[in-house]
Amino acid sequence: MKIDPNKCVACGNCTYVCPVGAIYIDPATRRATVNSKECVECYACYNGLSQEHLNPTFVRTLRKVFQMLRLRFDPEPDVCPTAAFAPDELVWPRTVRRAFSDPRVPHESTGVHGRGTEEVKTNDVSGRVKQGEVGFTIEFGRPGVGVWFRDLQTMCWALAKAGVTFEKRNPVTSLMSDMATGTIREDIMNEKVLSAIIEIKVPVERAEEIIRLVWDVEKQIDTVVALGVGARCDADGEDHVVAPMLEKLGYHPERAKTNIGLGRVTQAEAKITVSA
């Protein structure tokens, strides 16, 4: 992302809206500037700020007058008064940043918008996680910290070494050069994204081992981790297996996504047509 210095009036509104704090007012130029090393190309600034199309010279003059008189204009905080943001033409490997950070861009690997995962949200149709199995979503970088692929690599290697199988239809998996070893392609190691999710599925007997492994590895990684655990309920809609295991490990889940089982397969053949 770029900010046009000819348009920017240094109002500072954008410095607050950047999820990773990559926008600042450069004291030398007195213009908002993007730290491109930290910018994850999420487009929150470009898409989230409303835009006015005011004359920059007029706005700068007005701001100087207010400043001299020690007056504070109290404009809306989510507006770029001069529409100064200009998206860069992204090229590989930087395109990875946007794919993993801008929720409006679908992941090519899965066609799913957002983080590109389906977890147990369509489990009633896909049957991805069955009784006796546990589906894990191990998310890195959320909320508002971000993650480098080199950190993600550490976790992928550890999981692969433990013999787990990565979900094939997952954006992180699609960037692996070797799924068996969990090796992610080398050319994206120095790319930072807002968040990335590893998806795996294991028999319920191995769930505790995986959680303990995550506990060990997350200490070596310089970001936050959000664990999601998916389970198939029994015929009565109860989960007597995974919830007690989580309690035993000290977790008391406050929140969940609950698939209520109203979905059904309507297409005879698994023909990939459009993203979900």
Partner 1 sequence: MTNTLHRFGPSQSFADDYIVFAMCARGKNDGDALPKLRQFLEMAVPFKPVNLGDAIHGGALRPSRAMNPLAHWNRDSTADFRAVIDGMDALTTVAAVFDNRVAAEDFVKAVKEADLGLSINISTSVDGAEQCCFAAGIPRHSVGYSLGFEGKTEKLPNADVLLLSTMCGHGMVSHSLAKKMIDWVKEGRRTPEQAAACLTRFCSCGVFNPARAARILQQAARGESPA
Q: Report the site for partner 1 in 123-142 (rule: CB under 8 A).
A: 123-126, 129, 135, 137, 139-140, 142
Is residue 16 involved in binding partner 1 (CB under 8 A)?
yes
Shortest separation between residue 26's beta carbon and partner 1, angstroms = 18
Is residue 71 involved in binding partner 1 (CB under 8 A)?
no
Site for partner 1 in 136-195 (CB under 8 A): 137, 139-140, 142-145, 194-195
Shortest separation between residue 180's beta carbon and partner 1, angstroms = 25
Site for partner 1 in 19-48 (CB under 8 A): 19, 21, 42, 44, 47-48
Shortest separation between residue 145's beta carbon and partner 1, angstroms = 5
CA–CA distance, 203 with 205 (Å, rounded to integer): 5
Residue 80 or 188 with smaller CB distance to partner 1: 80
Is residue 244 involved in binding partner 1 (CB under 8 A)?
no
Residues 117, 123, 128, 133, CA torsion sign:
positive
Site for partner 1 in 87-106 (CB under 8 A): 101, 103-104
CA–CA distance, 194 with 192 (Å, rounded to integer): 7
Residues 111, 115, 119, 123, CA torsion sign:
negative
Q: Considering only the stretches 3-11, 88-96, 122-130, 174-182, report the one whose residues sit in contact with partner 1 under the rule CB under 8 A.
A: 122-130
User: Are 35 and 95 contacting, i.e. CB atoms less than 8 angstroms apart?
Assistant: no
Shortest separation between residue 141's beta carbon and partner 1, angstroms = 8
User: Are 172 and 126 contacting, i.e. CB atoms less than 8 angstroms apart?
Assistant: no
- Give the CA angle between residues 144, 150, 155 to the nearest 5°: 85
CA–CA distance, 244 with 5 (Å, rounded to integer): 57
Instruction: Give the residue among 100, 3, 1 at the shortest CA–CA distance from 13.
Output: 3
